[in-house]
Chain A
Amino acid sequence: GAVVSQHPSRVICKSGTSVKIECRSLDFQATTMFWYRQFPKQSLMLMATSNEGSKATYEQGVEKDKFLINHASLTLSTLTVTSAHPEDSSFYICSASGQGINQPQHFGDGTRLSIL
């Protein structure tokens, strides 16, 4: 089945550091990928929709200059958390739909970001 790979799985860094997270579709092309954020013991909240070859669409309340998204190819989207602060500590998960009719969304394994 469709596989989505996300790296890194865990990041611990100091406040002020910028962190890049990669999301790859391994066996299919994805014109659209999604980035979600999950706080402890909470559900997933959509942050932004990543569109190949164009600007990402951000949800209300998500700072586009804080969370930079680049979708330069049909198999790769990156999320960069710029100048991260402790309140950015969270679990970030990407997803993508396979090509074809009625393909469900598959998720990466997530990236746990801890800002000290």
Chain B
Amino acid sequence: GEDVEQSLFLSVREGDSSVINCTYTDSSSTYLYWYKQEPGAGLQLLTYIFSNMDMKQDQRLTVLLNKKDKHLSLRIADTQTGDSAIYFCAESRTPGRALTFGSGTRLQVQP
């Protein structure tokens, strides 16, 4: 079955760049997502990428996809204290299917 893995914790200083990594096992994964969850809140879609793309940039967020290694990363430039949250990587084969989530990476931004 599908499996998605992430490191559990990342700490950075305000203003630095953050890089959150994710690996997945399903070679049929076509849609890869990054969601942000703040304490007690739901999931906020940050960005997503299709498997035929290598990179996608949206303001401070850059997603890199290495399909050969099944590795996905999210880079947050100029990280702010408001970026402190849990970031989930998720994948699905089609948009209409449920997502398989990683365990989430807790990002802590220190002033």
Interface residues of A (CB under 8 A from B): 6, 32, 34, 36, 42-46, 49, 93, 95, 97, 101-110, 112
B42 beta carbon closer than 8 Å to chain A = yes
A44 to B33, Cβ gap below 8 A? no
Chain B residue nearest in CB terms to A44: B101
Assembly CA distance A4 to B104 (angstroms): 22
Query: Could you give 20 example pairs across A and B, Cβ below 8 Å?
Result: A6-B42, A42-B103, A43-B88, A44-B88, A44-B99, A44-B101, A46-B99, A93-B42, A97-B95, A97-B96, A102-B31, A104-B45, A104-B48, A105-B45, A105-B92, A107-B43, A107-B44, A107-B45, A108-B42, A109-B42
- Known: A43-B88, A93-B42, A110-B42. Contact between A105 and B33, CB under 8 A? yes
- B interface majority secondary structure: strand
Minimum-distance CB pairs A-B, first 4 = A109-B42, A107-B43, A110-B42, A43-B101
B104 to A43, Cβ gap below 8 A? yes
Assembly CA distance A106 to B41 (angstroms): 14
- Known: A43-B88, A109-B42. Contact between A34 and B98, CB under 8 A? yes
Chain B residue nearest in CB terms to A97: B95
